[in-house]
Amino acid sequence: MSSFNPMSLDYVYYPVSGIMWVWHKVFSFVPGLGPDSGITWALSVIFLVLTLRAILYKPFVRQIRTTRQMQEFQPQMQALRKKYGKDRQKLALEMQKLQKEHGFNPLLGCLPALLQVPVFIGLFHVLRSFNRMSGGTAQMFGSPDMNAYETRHTANYFFSATDVQSFLDARLFGVPLSSYVQEPVAQFQAFMPVSPPDANGVIAYIEPNFEKWWIIALSVPLMIVAALATHFNSRASIARQPVASLDNPQTAIMNRLMLWVFPIGVLVGGFFLPVAILIYWVTQNIWTYCQQHIVFGKLDKEDEEKKRLAQEKRAENAPKPGAKPKKGGAATSLTKAAETVADDAEGTAAEAADAAPSKPTPGAKPKPQHPSANARQQQRNQQQRNRNKKRKR
């Protein structure tokens, strides 16, 4: 194991190399493989990807939920942009307030993608550091320039010098895993056993047991698969975007970049990437495609279940066809109360009109009571009884 430098990116390099080292040891015990097998080393890279993506699974699900949550209050955000479009400070404050009300954290939507960047950088550096010969790109990340003998006898983070030699000697379809299409032929010395330098500094080494075109024959198909996987992942992601967002010019530009520029970048950049990195890229995209299919399917079922429960609840509360409104309902109570008050008012007015005798003029004799007064009184009593019955109903 090499020494830890706290002032560098060793905080990334050591965890990445540690996970890969563990899986290499695990597959070394599989019958028919062994520690020097190219399949063993390829599987260690693949399972490094699977391990890291499994760790990032929950953040990925939170990212999808956050994205869907943002789509729900997108109309409110558009209204704020129209209202405060000229006042950026006020717009930012209102956006923060809206996000806080909905419990929305935009950082969660970017977290999985952000975490994958240092992982890719770490893996790229670790794999290129297996071969630190002059002319390589390992020096870009602070690795010293070495000859073939030194690079084969120098530890690489969690990997000992013996592990380094095992990786350099391993072949996948006859091709070293850390080789790449644009690699200088002089660096091929590191992939074969060498003797220590003599007194004149000359190193005796064996001629490489592979050809340049072998690297091309293996790398190009991996590059094509990686580019196609990147394209179809982007297409699946765009297909799930809301229709309204597709009219946004910025979204349209980003979608075109995802669909075409990024896959082309994989094809062009693949000539400078080791075979192991291309394996990582293919595995990464296959995992992403499967994970999106599973997670989106699960969330779609959850949304359908929520809609079903909401419809059932509305159906339970709705009155059945032909059924009378429930007694005690708000509308019925108000109607009865209005009718009662009106009836009472009419009855009281009638009683007052009938009961109040007209004042006699000064000096005049009181008029005798009409014979039908008793009949009218009985009629009023009957009306009162009818009103009482109506109230009880």
Cβ neighbours of 205 (radius 10 Å): 18
Most confident option among 79-83, 182-186, 215-219: 215-219
Q: What is the mean pLDDT of the chain?
A: 80
Residue 106 pLDDT exceeds 70: no
Cα angle at 117 between 77 and 12, to 5 degrees? Answer: 135
Per-residue pLDDT tens digits for 285-309: 999 989 988 988 888 888 888 888 8
Give tens-digit pLDDT for 118-170.
888 988 899 889 988 865 544 454 556 788 888 999 999 999 999 999 999 99
* Residue 329: pLDDT over 50: no
Sign of CA dihedral 259, 264, 265, 271: positive
Q: Is the pLDDT score of 279 beyond 90?
A: yes
The fraction of the chain above a pLDDT of 90, given in percent, is 32
Structure confidence by residue, pLDDT tens digits, 15-47? 999 999 999 999 999 999 999 999 999 999 999
At 244 the pLDDT is 62
In the predicted model, what is the mean pLDDT of residues 349-367?
50
Split at pLDDT 50, 70, 90, the class of 54 is very high
Return the domain boundaries, the chain. 10-302
DSSP 372: T
Q: What is the pTM of this model?
A: 0.71
The confidence score (pLDDT) of residue 338 equals 47
DSSP assignment string, 147-194: -HHHHHTS-BTTB-HHHHHHHHH--BTTB-TT--TT--GGGGGGGS-B
C-alpha 76/C-alpha 260 separation (Å) is 32
* Ranges 57-61, 86-90, 181-185, 344-348: which has the least confidence: 344-348
Which pLDDT score, from 0 to 100, does residue 67 have?
Answer: 74
**CA pair distance 56, 281, nearest whole angstrom:** 16
Checking if the pLDDT of 214 tops 60, the result is yes
